[in-house]
């Protein structure tokens, strides 16, 4: 989820509580937390009823798993019906985002995506795990899942028996031919265009308004004909566009607004990958770099794309202060954070953070050779950005 969408932190919090209770006071809970923080959990895989991942500890790698009960078809129907009645949830789903509504069973038809503690079980290839007791490795996996749920709730959806795409299709079937209502504005009063037009596609046909063109009084009507957005949504979008234009005219915009950012915006759209060769020809930027910038744009918008292309110039003092902040916060593991040009890099861990044109720090992970891939979690605090890079590195093993 991006932008001002409601936080999914309650989903991660509910999982932490249930997972903690499921460990039943075992000392492995704390040991697993240390393993997870040190990047011991590799790629997490999800299938119905199961979440598993390789976990490295004491020079050995074990296959840890957490077992969850799948939701029944009736429970998925109840959840989908509740989501179909929420315009924000519908708009999120049709725009390929997971709605924050699922984090609260009170707003999800009473269905809890997080299972009760007594239905969570563990297994592992280690001796303790083979007896289906929680071990350090399966506990580390539980902590890693909690971190992932703040940005990727589909991890838990899949384990409960339905992919995010299947849930979106189920909800779309329920709203086809029905009017889901207006899309509510975000907390700052704006409405996202992608969600607005996705929602409009599911509204029933509407006859054009009967206008008296001979009158001299101002024309008023409820909504324009489809596929146009609703009047109140359009008003909010116009107000937002006017505010952005005023910022640009006053020369106070902080984010980069240029032709390259517009190209990356198009490439980062669902059908944008097909335009990469044309963009490469137009910009002269290698295709591999453009594809990495697409990822950077999805994580951090125009500033994320620019940070992927090159770090914003920073003074030695700023870089040194950021490095000290990372060390003081103990975000770094056993490696050393080096100042490398305008970046802070831990080559041992394969992570890096870069200053972006908007003043934030952007996390990266080593992909292969000297190729760095952007990761989610850009932040004003370099220590938090560094932690985000370590989490992304733990979720994606180093490519050789």
Q: Which residues contact 256 (CB under 8 A, 6 or more apart)?
A: 302, 303, 306, 357, 358
Q: What is d(CA 127, CA 121) in angstroms, rounded to the nearest whole number? A: 16
The dihedral sign for the CA sequence 161, 165, 168, 172: negative
- Strand 121-124 and strand 60-67: the pairing is antiparallel
HEC string of 127-164 equals HHHHCCCCCHHHHHHHHHHHHHHCCCCHHHHHHCCCCH
Per-residue tokens: 192: 């996202």
Nearest to 152 by CA among 337, 299, 18, 311: 299
Q: What integer pLDDT is reported at residue 360 of this predicted model? A: 93
Domain spans of the chain? 9-170, 259-309, 316-395
Per-residue pLDDT at 171: 84
Question: How would you write the pLDDT of the chain (400 residues) with one tens digit per residue?
Answer: 333 334 567 788 889 999 999 999 899 999 999 999 999 999 999 999 999 999 998 889 999 999 999 999 988 888 888 888 777 777 777 766 777 777 665 555 578 888 889 999 999 999 999 998 999 999 999 999 998 888 778 888 889 998 888 888 888 778 765 555 555 555 555 556 665 665 555 555 556 656 555 554 544 556 766 656 666 666 666 766 777 777 777 766 555 457 888 888 788 777 777 888 888 988 899 998 999 998 898 888 888 999 999 999 999 999 999 999 988 887 776 678 899 899 999 988 889 999 998 899 999 998 877 789 999 999 999 999 999 999 888 876 554 3
Residue with tokens 């074990």, as numbered in its chain: 62
Residue 52 burial (C-beta neighbours within 10 Å; 0-12, 13-18, 19+):
buried
Task: Compute the C-alpha angle 94/99/101, nearest 5°.
Answer: 140
């Amino acid at each position: 989820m991006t932008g001002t969408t409601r936080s999914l932190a309650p989903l991660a919090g509910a999982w932490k509580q249930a997972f903690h209770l499921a460990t039943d006071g075992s000392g492995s809970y704390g040991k697993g937390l240390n393993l997870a923080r040190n990047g011991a959990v590799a790629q997490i895989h999800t299938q119905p009823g199961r979440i598993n991942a390789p976990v490295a500890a004491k020079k050995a790698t074990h296959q840890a798993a957490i077992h969850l009960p799948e939701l029944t078809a009736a429970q998925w129907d109840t959840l989908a019906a509740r989501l179909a009645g929420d315009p924000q949830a519908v708009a999120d789903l049709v725009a390929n985002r997971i709605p924050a509504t699922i984090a609260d069973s009170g707003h999800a038809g009473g269905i809890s995506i997080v299972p009760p503690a007594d239905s969570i079980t563990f297994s592992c290839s280690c001796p303790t795990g083979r007896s289906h007791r929680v071990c350090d490795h399966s506990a580390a996996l539980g902590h890693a899942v909690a971190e992932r749920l703040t940005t990727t709730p589909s991890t838990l959806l899949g384990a409960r028996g339905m992919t995010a795409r299947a849930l979106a299709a189920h909800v779309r079937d329920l709203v086809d031919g029905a009017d889901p209502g207006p899309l509510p504005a975000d907390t700052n009063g704006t409405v996202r265009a992608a969600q607005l037009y996705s929602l409009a596609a599911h509204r029933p046909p509407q006859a054009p308004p009967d206008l008296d063109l001979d009158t001299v009084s101002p024309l008023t009507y409820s909504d324009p004909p489809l596929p146009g957005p609703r009047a109140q949504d359009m008003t909010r979008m116009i107000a937002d566009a006017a505010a952005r234009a005023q910022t640009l005219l006053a020369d106070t915009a902080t984010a980069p607004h240029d032709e390259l950012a517009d190209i990356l915006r198009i490439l980062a759209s669902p059908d944008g990958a097909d335009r990469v060769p044309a963009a490469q020809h137009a910009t002269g930027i290698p295709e591999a770099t453009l594809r990495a910038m697409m990822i950077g744009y999805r994580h951090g918008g125009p500033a994320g794309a620019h940070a992927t292309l090159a770090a914003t110039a920073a003074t030695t003092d700023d870089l040194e202060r950021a490095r000290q902040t990372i060390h003081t916060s103990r975000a770094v593991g056993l490696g050393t954070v080096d100042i490398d040009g305008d970046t802070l890099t831990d080559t041992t861990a394969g992570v890096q953070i870069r200053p972006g044109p908007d003043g934030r720090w952007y996390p990266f992970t080593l992909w292969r050779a000297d190729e760095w891939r952007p990761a989610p979690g850009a932040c004003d605090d370099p220590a938090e950005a560094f932690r985000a890079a370590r989490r992304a590195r733990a979720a994606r093993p180093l490519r050789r």
